[in-house]
Amino acid sequence: MPGGRRRRNRGIRPVVVCATTLTLALAVGCAGTATERDAAWPAGPDPITEAEALEVFDFAWARVYETYYDTTFGGLDWHEVGAELRPRAARAGRVSVLRGIIAEMLDHLGDSHFGVIPAEHADALDPEAVEGARGEPGTVGIELRVVDDELVVFRVAESSPARMAGVRPGWSLQRVDTTTAAGLLAVLDEVPHARPLAEARLAVAAEARLAGRVGDTVTVAFQDGARRVVARDLVSEPRTGMPVRFGNLPTMFTNLESQEVAIPQGCAGIIRFDVWMVPIMEEFERAFFQLHHCDGFILDLRGNPGGVAGMAMAVSGYFMTERQTLGVMRTREQELNIVSMPRRVTLAGQSMIPFQGPLALVVDGQSMSTTEIFTAGLQGLGRARVFGETTGGQALPALMVRMPNRDILMYAFADFVGPDGTRIEGRGAIPDTSVPLTREGLLAGQDRALSAAVDWIVDVARSRPTQEGQ
């Protein structure tokens, strides 16, 4: 703490945070959930005593001091920063003032994804608030995105409760039971420096509220394409895919879809999967060989929040003929080189040759962590062309943890650079061809980002006869 070395926060009850071992996984920043929900601390702009304010301030200062990936803090004297601001924290008097002082402290780092989310808004970004309820987590088959300050339906799964009820992409969410979309969206004004990440987390949290628990009936109000309010009662059903637990992460369900799209010269193979976990490898390889005859591949990684880092090395090997570095991650203790591993044999032990044709990646703001490392790595090596929207800029293992007053402290504890030295944290992987998501496009049934990737495969295929004839 300020004025001392590495003081631990005695008396503070532990919180559950999303922490993974660097050498095994790159975790999506997971919302911390207080183990004690009944803590007698003020939540919101209420009066706060000097002792309470200092405990919160010292918690934030120490967490950064003990975890920041650069022990030199880029030349910044973190003790001096704390010593300067701690007296002001003691005199804060109100939680809202204290939040501003802590935010000012974090701003000295000049880094992304450091901030304070007020307790009264924290649950809007905390899927665990729903995950902690009784019963098995379910689904109604809806994916959401924040588009122009609205929570908009992005995808509706086939044969899902939402599809059967007539819900369509492009509809705008208005209310889930008694929770309004406007109330959820209000959190975005609290984190202007990390808005892309907050938008992604907000969409996921809203999906969790929609999904509820298996057997629940959720009353949802939407605004359809004609701006009419449409109410639906949706009954949650079991999630599809294979359940996977990894470290402290919530249970995830792996799903992989593939399809062949006809183009004038032949076909384009599309593979989409929703999380980087080992159980998809067998399915991925099967889909890869089913589509290997196509002129090009498209990996649709929109909404993929990350997972196991080794998966990026393994999957890239199906498209790389040489071992090359996708990027480097560094914490204060260790360094991890993320390297493509060219596939010479199948999972069954048969010889194979990696695909050497055009490779397109489709991403959006909810593509994070391992997805960003994979995307930025192949893009930086010139192996893939990227379409869609800039990724979430959450390539680092960033954590969210409840502080003693139940506000959330958001912080990153590692650094990552791509193969060309470009830092991805806060910046994201920027598409070669930007295709913004629009409500109008969704309502029209268009997938413009995917179509742009297919068109590129067509253009490359058309150019091949000329190239071979030269």
Q: Supply the pTM of this predicted model.
A: 0.76
Q: Classify residue 417 by burial, with Cβ atoms within 10 Å: 0-12, 13-18, 19+.
A: middle
Band the pLDDT of 175: cuts 50, 70, 90: very high
Per-residue pLDDT tens over the stretch 358-399: 999 999 999 988 899 999 999 999 999 999 999 988 777 667
SS3 285: helix
93 and 227: one domain?
Answer: no
Structural domain range at position 296 = 242-396+409-461
> What is the predicted pLDDT for the residue at 211?
85
Per-residue pLDDT tens over the stretch 189-232: 766 666 776 787 788 888 888 888 889 999 999 999 999 999 99
Which residue reads 């742009």 in tokens?
Answer: 452
Per-residue pLDDT tens over the stretch 419-453: 888 888 778 899 999 999 999 999 999 999 999 99
425 and 326: one domain?
Answer: yes
DSSP strand E in 264-353: where? 266-273, 296-300, 307-308, 325-330, 335-339
What is the share, in percent, of the chain residues with pLDDT greater than 70? 82
169 and 30: one domain?
Answer: no
192 and 206: one domain?
Answer: yes
Which residue among 80, 115, 150 closes a domain? 115
Q: At what angle do helices 309-316 and 280-291 cross, to 10 degrees?
A: 20
274 and 418: one domain?
Answer: yes
Band the pLDDT of 2: cuts 50, 70, 90: low
Residue 23 has pLDDT above 70, yes or no: no
Sign for the pseudo-dihedral over CA of 178, 180, 181, 186: negative
d(CA 268, CA 388) in angstroms, rounded, equals 17
368 and 328: one domain?
Answer: yes
